[in-house]
Amino acid sequence: MDFTLTPDQQAFRERVRSWLKANVPPEWKVLATTEVPRAEAYEIIRRWQGKLYEGGFIGITWPKEYGGQGLTFIEEMILHEEMALQKAPPILNILGVGMAGPTIIAYGTEEQKKRYPAKILSCEEIWCQGYSEPNSGSDLAALQTRAVKDGDHYVINGQKVWTSLAHVADWMMLLARTDPDAPKHKGITYFLLDMHAPGVTVKPLKQITGDAEFNEVFFDNVRVHERQILGGLNNGWAVGLTTLMYERLALGFGLQVRLRIALESLIEMGRRVEKTGRVVTRDPLLRQKLAQLWIDTEALKYTGARAITKLLKGELPGPEASAGKMGWVETHQKLQELAMEIEGPYSQLTKGSDRAIDGGLWQYGFLRSRANSIEGGTTEIQKNIIGERVLGLPKG
Amino acid sequence: MDFGFNQEQELLRATARKFFESECPSEFVRARMAEPAGVTDAFWAKLAEQGWLGLVYPEQYGGAGLGFVDLTVLMEEMGRAVMPGPFFSTVLLGGLTILEAGSEAQKQEWLGKISAGEAKVALAFTEPNARWDAAAVTVTARESGGGFTVSGTKLFVLDAHLADVLVVVARTREGKRPEEGLSLFLVPRSARGVDVKLLPTMDQTRKLCEVTFADVAVGADALLGPRDGAWSALSRVLDRATVSLCAEMCGGAQRVLDMTTDYAKIRIAFGKPIGSYQGVKHKAADMLVEIENAKSLTYYAAWAMDENVPEAPLAASMAKAYVSDAFRKAAGTGIQLHGGIGFTWEHDLHLYFKRAKSSEFSFGDATWHRERVAQLINL
């Protein structure tokens, strides 16, 4: 057990630190009470991601020949720690960087690996994830979107839903059924789908926040070439699960960082907001709650570090990534609830009121956080995965 | 960076698990619960033989010279076995205090004997006010006749009835702050005026005592460490003991989860194993997540102790706050998922449930440590 860094890693930390100091965009205020970028910030964070790419501070663990830095998860962790300390903005192409890229690198042909990952990192091409459908959410393998072979193409018909970023995306990680007669897990194929292809229609859905950051996506005879298959015909379930494991693992880094940023903002608010006649940070009960959040956040960090140690020893991200996702969700929702509790009646005032605390930022964060336990696999599904695949309990 | 255990540590874990499975099964624990000693001479001698009584003491004092990360492994296994007896009081409270505060001669005299299993030492710190900070100490030691006279009452003293010598925290001077004016004394349990009363406890694997000092006269050589300046050494001991206790608690919690998942796989209700029902499965998953987090904080704190990093006290408090809640919840859920059998005296779950409770309130509970975290992060 050793948390000390090698001289090279220490030097990397110094380099990251000074680069961030010089490059975090001044127009970026701490809008980040949530992990998901809002539409109003898209342009800032699109440029920010471009800068990260130019500076060599994204795709840390991806191979150099595909646009990455060829470094280890240690450097990735250092980078994220420094970003938390300097309250750096999130990136725009979160699904591309967190999921599409690693999955393409893991399963792609040489041609695919040369074509896609670098443009994901530079934010030239934004990705979304076509998994959930109106009739298959948690039961993902029941998906009904069809892909029917026609020469060297497949013809896609069907619908996806809750598709974040589809309205700005260039590409989609699409799961579609290629063999309707096979058992449900065995007839699915993973396609890299051009969102600009004829027959793709995106309709934004308004969320409880009032924003429309996720969408319905309709496919009407969309033609996709068979070279756009990732990881082989009818192998989509395995490929898709890999994506989900990376997604949950990515939470260990990026989202833990945003959690820390949000917590520090919350504590900072607690120092200036009064409740029953004294500032929040002097209230014994609220001190308890803030301290518990601090502890929970640190626990997630160290549980993440244990997972990284496993990765460094050559093991793949496994079902324990579900535990990290669950822990993050619980902590983040608790944090957002506490923000409302601290604000009291002020929690009712939103953006547009000059009486609203912090311009009504926390109200958005609070509402947005309700999705955390649903998106990327519901908490109930994560618990099934932990129960069955980690603890070995029988399936229901 | 490497946040895992090395090969030697994994070997220690395997050795310890095998040892406790054969030497400290439930029947052994239950027999010790029923009698005052809480340990047998033979068992104590075996712990010494393994080198575990001196695991964290430097080699020149008869120890193995290992660190708190190594100890964490051993403590987890002891917790898994709900090991009774004065290991914690002797090795981690009495012994560590002598190591932190003692003179060369005192260390030579006591640590070797502890490591060899020839002496037991208890730490008399807490009092009826039930505090864990420096203000806890109201027992006084007045200078008299070239030595000191110790007066007052200590409460919740672990294994005082078994100790050859008590390390007593006493006030030698009223300072501006409670941390000032504290001194440590080595007082033989047999000294005139020392009265030790064993108290009936909920967790019978932990023996707690009330110790009264009726004007006990000790020589000047009984002083352990600097006069009036005991707090810095003592607080280091308390942090180290806290982290070791957290490791023991993690081991206990993991054992409860193992027992519960094993049972959920074989217990049939409505024609299916109960573990296939989400009402059971999800509770088990929650236990796992909390126990893994508990371990992460504990391992980090143990490393922080070994490396003496500035945030070591914060790491200790974060761990104790989290682990106290996690073990209590795991033990309670374990009973719940076992149903009626889990509520019986015959089943071992109550040993863990009670150990969780006694550990929760040792060295400060979760509330106390959360407040300490709040202070240490400048809230």
Q: Residue B359's domain is classified under what CATH number?
A: 1.20.140.10
Distance CA A126, CA A93 (A): 5
Are both B250 and B331 inside the same structural domain? yes
Are both B159 and B276 inside the same structural domain? no
Reported as a single tens digit per residue, the pLDDT across A194-243 is 999 999 999 999 999 988 889 999 999 999 999 999 999 999 999 988 77
Residue A101 has pLDDT above 90, yes or no: yes
pLDDT band at B222 (very low <50, low <70, confident <90, very high): very high
Reported as a single tens digit per residue, the pLDDT across A244-278 is 777 666 656 677 878 888 999 999 999 999 998 99
**Is the Cβ pair A393, B276 closer than 8 Å?**
yes
Domains of chain A are 7-122 (1.10.540.10), 127-234 (2.40.110.10), 238-390 (1.20.140.10)
**Residue A247 annotated as catalytic:** yes
Instruction: From chain A, pick out residues whose CB is under 8 angstroms from the CB of B4.
Output: 1, 306, 309-310, 313
- Interface check B371 vs A, CB under 8 A: yes
Q: Is residue B82 part of a domain?
A: yes
What is the pLDDT, as a whole number, of residue A320?
Answer: 65
Residue A311 has pLDDT above 80, yes or no: no
Residue A317 has pLDDT above 70, yes or no: no
Are both B163 and B272 inside the same structural domain? no
Closest CB to B296: pick one of A302, A394, A395.
Answer: A302
Cα–Cα nearest to B340, from B354, B350, B352 = B350
Encoding tokens for residue A300?
Answer: 């997630």
- How far apart are the CA of B292 and the nearest CA of chain A, in angstroms? 7
Are both B162 and B87 inside the same structural domain? no
pLDDT band at A316 (very low <50, low <70, confident <90, very high): low
Are both B312 and B359 inside the same structural domain? yes
- The residue from B176, B196, B229 where one domain ends is B229
Are both B274 and B372 inside the same structural domain? yes
Q: Average pLDDT, stretch B235-243?
A: 98
Give phi and psi for B106, each to the nearest 5: -65, -40
Distance CA B147, CA B142 (A): 8
Q: Is residue B2 part of a domain?
A: no
Structure letter (DSSP) for residue A294: H
N- to C-terminal Cα separation, chain A: 39
- Looking at the structure of chain B, the number of domains it has is 3
Domain coverage including residue B161: 122-229
Residue B133 has pLDDT above 60, yes or no: yes
- The residue from B119, B151, B176 where one domain ends is B119
Are both B112 and B135 inside the same structural domain? no
**Is the Cβ pair A1, B3 closer than 8 Å?**
yes
Are both B294 and B261 inside the same structural domain? yes
Fill in the amino acid letter for A73. Answer: F
What is the pLDDT, as a whole number, of residue B118?
Answer: 98
Distance CA B300, CA B317 (A): 12
Interface of B with A in 302-321 (CB under 8 A): 302-303, 307, 318, 321
* Among A35, A247, A320, A343, the one annotated catalytic: A247
pLDDT averaged over every residue in chain A:
91
Residue of B nearest to A72 (CA): B1
Distance CA B347, CA A266 (A): 46
Distance CA B71, CA B81 (A): 15
- The residue from B119, B138, B164 where one domain ends is B119
Q: Is residue B1 part of a domain?
A: no
**Is the Cβ pair B275, A309 closer than 8 Å?**
no
Residue A365 has pLDDT above 60, yes or no: yes
H or E element at residue B123: strand B121-124
Reported as a single tens digit per residue, the pLDDT across A117-167 is 999 999 999 999 999 999 998 899 999 999 999 999 999 999 999 999 999
Are both B90 and B115 inside the same structural domain? yes
pLDDT band at A31 (very low <50, low <70, confident <90, very high): low
Q: Average pLDDT, stretch A352-356?
A: 92
Q: Average pLDDT, stretch B153-168?
A: 98
Site from A278, A382, A391, A395 to mutate, B interface, most B CB atoms within 10 angstroms: A391
Fill in the amino acid letter for B324. Answer: S
What is the pLDDT, as a whole number, of residue A313?
Answer: 79
- Interface check B278 vs A, CB under 8 A: yes
Q: Is residue B140 part of a domain?
A: yes
What is the pLDDT, as a whole number, of residue A41?
Answer: 81
pLDDT band at A33 (very low <50, low <70, confident <90, very high): very low
Distance CA A377, CA A284 (A): 36
Encoding tokens for residue A115?
Answer: 């074509």
Cα–Cα nearest to B181, from B226, B148, B147 = B226
Q: Is residue B368 part of a domain?
A: yes
Reported as a single tens digit per residue, the pLDDT across B339-363 is 999 999 999 999 999 999 999 999 9
Residue A3 has pLDDT above 90, yes or no: no
Distance CA A81, CA A261 (A): 10
Residue B205 has pLDDT above 80, yes or no: yes
Instruction: From chain A, pick out residues whose CB is under 8 angstroms from the CB of B265.
Output: 392-394
Q: Is residue B340 part of a domain?
A: yes
Residue A30 has pLDDT above 90, yes or no: no
Distance CA B53, CA B51 (A): 6
Higher pLDDT: A32 or B111? It is B111
CATH code of the domain in which B154 resides: 2.40.110.10
Q: Average pLDDT, stretch B327-334?
A: 98
pLDDT averaged over every residue in chain B:
97
- How far apart are the CA of A257 and the nearest CA of chain B, in angstroms? 17
Torsion angle in degrees (nearest 10) through CA of B324, B330, B335, B339? 150
Distance CA B318, CA B299 (A): 11
**Is the Cβ pair B377, A306 closer than 8 Å?**
no
Interface of A with B in 259-278 (CB under 8 A): 267, 270
Q: Average pLDDT, stretch A47-76?
A: 94
What is the pLDDT, as a whole number, of residue A34?
Answer: 47
Are both B168 and B287 inside the same structural domain? no
* Residues present in chain B in total: 379
Are both B245 and B352 inside the same structural domain? yes
**3-state DSSP assignment of residue A55:** helix
Residue A315 has pLDDT above 80, yes or no: no
Closest CB to A309: pick one of B2, B261, B275.
Answer: B2
- Interface check B5 vs A, CB under 8 A: yes
What is the pLDDT, as a whole number, of residue A35?
Answer: 47
Instruction: Find the farthest-apart pair of alpha carbons in chain A and give their distance in angstroms, rounded.
Output: 74
CATH code of the domain in which B103 resides: 1.10.540.10
- Residue A154 forms beta bridges with which residues? A149, A224
Core vs surface per residue B96-109: b (16+ CB within 10 A) or e: bbbbbbbeeebbeb
What is the pLDDT, as a whole number, of residue A252?
Answer: 61
Are both B130 and B49 inside the same structural domain? no
